[in-house]
């Protein structure tokens, strides 16, 4: 089993839609969780950290379920500029940082 798995995608959604991405991780000792976005041929950039209580940043909401080892990202009112690959990232207790394979999102006019 891969250490971090994500929805395979791609997701093609119209502007204004709500889209949800799912991620699971295998190491129960993982300590920190993040969502990054990567635009084509660019470096990954932090979108948001994920906290146990869940957290929201504008149109983006992240949830963490430690018991199920599951992380989610919800994007509301999708914009064209949201088109990118979204990466689920897990940092283990020994500081190894693992990226999921990514889920591609295309927001269509």
Partner 1 sequence: NAGVMQNPRHLVRRRGQEARLRCSPMKGHSHVYWYRQLPEEGLKFMVYLQKENIIDESGMPKERFSAEFPKEGPSILRIQQVVRGDSAAYFCASSLATGELFFGEGSRLTVL
Identified binder of partner 1 from the candidate list 5, 13, 22, 49, rule CB under 8 A: 49
46 binds partner 1 (CB under 8 A): yes
Burial of 101 (0-12, 13-18, 19+ CB in 10 A): middle
Q: What would the 3-class secondary structure string for 74-97 be?
A: EECCCCHHHCEEEEEEEECCCCCE
* Pair of tokens at residue 4: 């971090």
User: 88, 38 in Cβ contact below 8 A?
Assistant: no
8 binds partner 1 (CB under 8 A): no
The residue (of 73 and 87) whose beta carbon lies closer to partner 1 is: 87
Window 52-91: residues binding partner 1 (CB under 8 A): 87, 89, 91
Identified binder of partner 1 from the candidate list 20, 80, 97, 108, rule CB under 8 A: 97
Identified binder of partner 1 from the candidate list 24, 34, 63, 72, rule CB under 8 A: 34
99 binds partner 1 (CB under 8 A): yes
Spatial separation of the C-alpha atoms in residues 76 and 74, rounded to whole Å: 6
């Amino acid at each position: 089993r891969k250490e971090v798995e994500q929805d395979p995608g791609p997701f093609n959604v119209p502007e204004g839609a709500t889209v949800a991405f799912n991620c699971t991780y295998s190491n129960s000792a993982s300590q920190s969780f993040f969502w990054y976005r990567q635009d084509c041929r660019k470096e990954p950039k932090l979108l948001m950290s994920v906290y146990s209580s869940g957290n929201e940043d504008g149109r983006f909401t992240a949830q963490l379920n430690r018991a199920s080892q599951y992380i989610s990202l919800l994007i509301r009112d999708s914009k064209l500029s949201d088109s990118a690959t979204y990466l689920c990232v897990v940092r283990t207790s020994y500081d190894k940082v693992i990226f999921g394979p990514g889920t591609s999102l295309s927001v269509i006019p």
